Amino acid sequence: MRITVLAGGIGGSRFLRGLQQVVPGDGADLPITVIGNTGDDIWIHGLRVCPDLDTVMYTLGGGISAERGWGREDETFTVRAELADYGVEPTWFGLGDRDIATHLVRTQALAAGYPLTEVTAALCERWKPGVRLLPMSDDRAETHVVVDDPSGGTAPDGTPLRTALHFQEWWIRYRAELPAHEFVLVGIDQAQPGPDVLSAILDTDLVILPPSNPVVSIGTILQVPGVADAVRSTTAPVVGVSPIIGGAPVRGMADACLRTIGVDTTAAGVGAHYGSRHQGGLLDAWIIDEADAADAPLVEAAGLRCTVAPTLMTDVSAAGSLARVCLTTAGLA
Ligand code: FO1
């Protein structure tokens, strides 16, 4: 059985740990392909950092910081402190000493001309995440967030000036508390899907949209030219998992992102946003939490088969149960 998962960072990685319980690879054959979000990627002190790719790689490879959900366990931030003492910006980004080794290897390989897909595969030779991890694109496409100027600048008529922040600055430095007027994926018009991305969606037994951020993680991957059309046209069933439980995101700031694009922060709202494949959308089925069971008729009215099940991934076993629900919903278990 082959399964393709479009994944962001922390939520997607937690889901994948559960899916691996249900569909274990045997080392040589990797049944799970992950299409990873690279819209969060950023140049920091001359190093190329790929947060969502690294979160999947570290989480499934056993190196993730369980406390933070990102970056390495047993991490120190000595280099970060030294850079701050030199007065070098940005100081708001948590650049870990162990994590720097990953960025150094990646940056050198990219500088030598290797595409991100090959560089990611090389990094995974160390971490052995047990999945095929494909960047959504080898081309640079970064999420920027349009906000009112944080320094309060105004135009002559008194209206606030607007500025675009890199997603990481909005997310980390400002905790997504600056109202986002718009998300702009800079460079996406010139970007191509990674070499195996479309075939991983078209030639598989199941496509899953896990409970990652539907705007800046899954939504970003779907903006890569050809990806959304591949999801609409694949012969495989497409099953999504609501990232909203009881009208709120489990973690992160998906509600701030959904507000920006005018989507209700509800299980039904996000399901309708992805849409039914019978009506030109992306999904065959939408899995929502028991806390949102009242939304089921709305989900069905949007043309989606609706499964109500526990979706809170409190541990690997809970994530495994959720993954199993995805397979049964798709008729594969
Ligand atoms: N998230 C934070 O909230 N604070 C940080 O300082 C931070 C640093 C960081 C460094 C490397 C990395 O791979 C991820 C990091 N993250 C940090 C998480 C990151 O901002 C998010 O995981 C994604 O970009 C959103 O999914």
**End of a domain among 162, 186, 210?**
186
Name the pLDDT band for 70 (thresholds 50, 70, 90): very high
The average pLDDT across 93-116 equals: 98
Is the pLDDT confidence value at 28 over 80?
no
Does the pLDDT value for residue 25 go beyond 80? no
Please, is 265 exposed, middle or buried when counting C-beta atoms within 10 Å of its C-beta (0-12, 13-18, 19+)? Answer: middle
- Whole-number pLDDT of residue 219: 98
Q: Dihedral of CA 257/259/261/267: which sign?
A: positive
* Cα 102 to averaged position of ligand 1 atoms, centre (Å): 14
Residue 303 pLDDT greater than 90, yes or no:
yes
pLDDT at position 323 is 98
191: pLDDT strictly greater than 90? yes
Q: What are the tens digits of pLDDT across the range 51-64? A: 999 999 999 999 99
Distance (Å) from CA 254 to ligand 1 centroid: 15
Residue 242 has pLDDT above 80, yes or no: yes
pTM for this prediction: 0.97
pLDDT tens track for 197-227: 999 999 999 999 999 999 999 999 999 999 9
Domain match, 162 and 228 both: no
Residue whose CA is at the smallest distance from ligand 1 atom 26: 9
Q: Phi then psi for 255, rounded to 5 degrees?
A: -65, -40
Ligand 1 pocket test: which of 76, 168, 215, 251 has the largest number of ligand atoms within 8 Å of its C-beta? 168
Q: What's the per-residue H, E or C state across the chain?
A: CCEEEEECCHHHHHHHHHHHHHCCCCCCCCCEEEEECCCCCEEECCEEECHHHHHHHHHHHCCECCCCCCCECCCCCHHHHHHHHCCCCCCCCCCCHHHHHHHHHHHHHHHCCCCHHHHHHHHHHHHCCCCEEEECECCCCEEEEEEECCCCCECCCCCECEEEEEHHHHHHHCCCCCCCCEEEEECHHHCCECCCHHHHHHCCCEEEECCCCCCCCHHHHHCCCCHHHHHHHCCCCEEEECCEECCEECCCCHHHHHHHCCCCCCHHHHHHHHCEHHHCCCECEEEECHHHHHHHHHHHHCCCEEEECCCCCCCHHHHHHHHHHHHHHCCCC
| Cα–Cα dist 74/61, whole Å | 15
- Residues 131 and 60 occupy one common structural domain: yes
- On the question of a cis peptide bond just before residue 210, with omega within 30 degrees of 0, the verdict is no
For residues 98-109, give the mean pLDDT.
98
Whether residues 292 and 326 share a domain: the answer is yes
Judge if 83 and 34 occupy the same domain: yes
Residues 240 and 122 in one domain: yes
Atom of ligand 1 nearest to the CA of 55: 13
With a cut of 80, say whether residue 15 has pLDDT above it.
yes
Is residue 42 domain-shared with residue 22, that is, in the same domain?
yes
Total domains present in the chain = 2
Rounded mean pLDDT of 106-123?
98
The atom of ligand 1 lying closest to the CA of 37 is: 26
Backbone dihedral angles phi then psi of residue 274, each to the nearest 5 degrees:
-70, -35
Let me know whether 208 and 291 are in one domain: yes
Whole-number pLDDT of residue 27 = 65
Give 49's pLDDT tier (boundaries 50, 70, 90). very high
User: Residues enclosing ligand 1, CB less than 6 A?
Assistant: 8-10, 40, 49, 51-52, 54-55, 70-71, 93-94, 99, 168, 171-172
Contact residues for 190 (Cβ-Cβ < 8 A; gap 6+): 139
% of the chain at pLDDT higher than 70: 100
Compute, in angstroms, the gap from residue 187 CA to the centroid of ligand 1.
Answer: 21
Mean pLDDT across the chain, nearest whole number? Answer: 96
Owning domain of residue 29: 1-141+187-333
Query: Are residues 241 and 256 both part of a single domain?
Result: yes
Amino acid at 182: E
Mean pLDDT (whole number) for 24-42: 91
Atom of ligand 1 nearest to the CA of 213: 26
Beta bridge partners of 146: 164, 182
pLDDT of 190 higher than 70: yes
Cα(51) to centroid of ligand 1, in Å? Answer: 6
As a whole number, mean pLDDT of residues 164-192 equals 97
> For position 333, what pLDDT does the model report?
87
Atom of ligand 1 at shortest range from CA of 171: 20
For residue 29, what pLDDT is reported? 84
Q: Are residues 275 and 149 in the same domain?
A: no
In angstroms, what CA-CA distances link 197 with 34, 135, 202, 301, 309?
A: 9, 8, 9, 31, 30
In a shared domain, residues 114 and 36: yes
126-139 average pLDDT score: 98
Of 186, 204, 220, the one marking the end of a domain is: 186
Q: Are residues 120 and 221 in the same domain?
A: yes
Q: Whose CA is nearest to atom 14 of ligand 1?
A: 51
Residue 196: give its domain's CATH number: 3.40.50.10680
Predicted confidence band at 93 (pLDDT cuts at 50, 70, 90)?
very high
Quick one: 45 and 155 in the same domain?
A: no
Looking at ligand 1, which residue's alpha carbon is closest to its atom 18?
70
Report the separation in Å between the CA atom of 196 and the middle of ligand 1, taken as the mean of its atom positions: 26
pLDDT tier at 92, thresholds 50, 70, 90: very high
Which of 130, 159, 186 is where one domain is finished? 186
Ligand 1 atom, smallest distance to 99 CA: 11
Q: Which of 254, 234, 242 lies closest to 307, judged by CA?
A: 242
Query: What's the CA-to-centroid distance between 155 and ligand 1, angstroms?
Result: 33
